[in-house]
Chains A and B, each alone.
Chain A
Amino acid sequence: DSGVTQTPKHLITATGQRVTLRCSPRSGDLSVYWYQQSLDQGLQFLIQYYNGEERAKGNILERFSAQQFPDLHSELNLSSLELGDSALYFCASSVGSGAEAFFGQGTRLTVV
């Protein structure tokens, strides 16, 4: 158990819908990262938050947004879902930049 908790584990939804993925980081970790893993793109960095502030952005679509709350949990919002958004979404956390990152079990999103 990495100590990073993601919910839900599985999600099936229709095209055009909106979903929210939730992540609770390890106790004491201030950085939260979101990654997308699809068959054709591999593991891609989406966005990072550090202590509530956005720190870095990767290949995140405009239809996607995220935030980190004062209790340090984070949510990734995916809207106007398309079939191509089907993927495994991971959250990771670390104490800070350059420190070891630990990953949650992932949320498997299927868009039908």
Chain B
Amino acid sequence: GIQVEQSPPDLILQEGANSTLRCNFSDSVNNLQWFHQNPWGQLINLFYIPSGTKQNGRLSATTVATERYSLLYISSSQTTDSGVYFCALGAGSYQLTFGKGTKLSVIP
């Protein structure tokens, strides 16, 4: 099956700092999503981005499908951005395969 690798595994930021999270994958995809899992366990959709670039407020994402990676940018981080960020891929099969996540801690 498809392999998904996220980096870094852990990230600690000062409030207001910017960050880039990376997701590398091993195969062509027809679905790529970024999720934020908050401290209460909820999985919140951030982006559906099998290719191209999207922006939503302080967050943006870029997927370069031909080079098999996706990036999630968080600017001016806030404490509410803390949690785990997952990249999940669908490649031919129907279900999403999740990476192990990046645990982000934003400190005041």
A residues neighboring B (CB under 8 Å): 2, 31, 33, 35, 42-43, 45, 48, 50, 55-56, 58, 88, 90, 92, 97-103, 105-106, 108
Contacts and interface: CB of A to CB of B under 8 A. Distances in A.
A49 B53 CA distance: 31
Interface residues of B, number: 22
B35 A55 contact: no
Chief secondary structure at chain A's binding surface: strand
Nearest to B101: A42
A53 to B, nearest CB: 12
Contacts, number: 54
Chief secondary structure at chain B's binding surface: strand
A30 to B, nearest CB: 11
A48 B94 contact: yes
B90 A97 contact: yes
Interface stretch (B15-23, B39-47, B75-83): B39-47
B94 A55 contact: yes
